[in-house]
Amino acid sequence: MATRIEREGDELVITGREWWTSGAMDPRCAFFILMAESDPTASPHRQQTMVLVPRDTPGVEVVRHYPVMGHHDQHGHAVVRFDGVRVPVTNVIGEEGGGFAGAQARLGPGRIHHCMRALGAAERALALALRARERVAFGGPLAAQAVVQQQIAESRLEIEQARLVCHHACHVIDTQGDEAARDLVAMAEVSVPRAATRVIDRAIQLHGAGVTDVTPLAGTYAWHRAMRLFDGPDEVHLRSIAKGELGRRPLLPPG
């Protein structure tokens, strides 16, 4: 986290560059929610602050737009430069130093919502894959081929397995709170996008032309492959899951 916030009286001065600002290219975007380092001497979880920055503030520059694996998201992701940007202290979200806590409060529920939508995308991809009943190859319906039936069955299995992980995480959030569900959310964040991309990939394979924009499959695949990064890399979630498992499992006696 390299962008800096320095307090000068009743103002905050922001300097830095944000490399992945989701929604910045949407013409309706009037302000940014910026999280940056405000006190490098504080404890690790109190170094960051969240602040509202109006888009038209002097010193704010939207530099460029990023596509996602070749596809342009409707709201856009951009590089945004902050060059001595000044906003009032009243623009702080919550409290100074509370940025990390604020981010964590929404990340768990936000991640599980992404997983819910990924399940819907996987269902849509499987529905499109079932057009194999209409396609003819080798003198008969493509769906009559054993390998195609296996792919359809594997997709249904993976969707249902991923759905159970997601439902379990949601149940624990509802009944015990976000903290109790932390490891389950991490499990969903790894397993659901993995399952979704495999299901979508099979649907692309069955379509043949699924790599084009004639169907939504290519764009859907790109988004859900990127999902394994933008809510935290798989590797970070796996480390969190392992640490939780190692911390709660007692050592068994040898033999």
Walk along the chain (255 residues) and give the pLDDT tens digit of each residue: 889 999 999 999 999 999 989 889 888 999 999 999 999 898 988 999 999 999 999 999 999 988 877 777 767 789 999 999 999 999 999 999 888 888 877 776 788 899 999 999 999 999 999 988 888 888 888 888 999 999 999 999 999 999 999 999 999 999 998 889 989 999 999 999 999 999 999 999 988 777 888 889 998 999 899 899 888 899 999 999 999 888 887 777 776
Percent composition of the chain: helix, strand, coil (DSSP 3-state, to 5) = 50, 20, 25
- Backbone dihedral angles phi then psi of residue 217, each to the nearest 5 degrees: -65, -40
Domain 99-247, CATH number (from 1.10.645.10, 3.30.300.30, 1.10.510.10, 1.20.140.10): 1.20.140.10
- Give Rg (Cα) of the chain: 23
Residue located via tokens 């013409």: 27
Q: Where are the domains of the chain?
A: 4-91, 99-247
Contact 73, 10 (CB under 8 A): no
Residue located via tokens 């959030």: 173
Domain 4-91, CATH number (from 3.30.930.10, 2.40.110.10, 3.40.1190.20, 3.50.50.60): 2.40.110.10
Name the residue among 184, 22, 179 with its Cα closest to residue 112. 184
Q: Report the distance separating Cα 189 and Cα 175, nearest Å.
A: 20
99-247: same fold as 4-91? Answer: no
Q: What is the pTM of this model?
A: 0.81
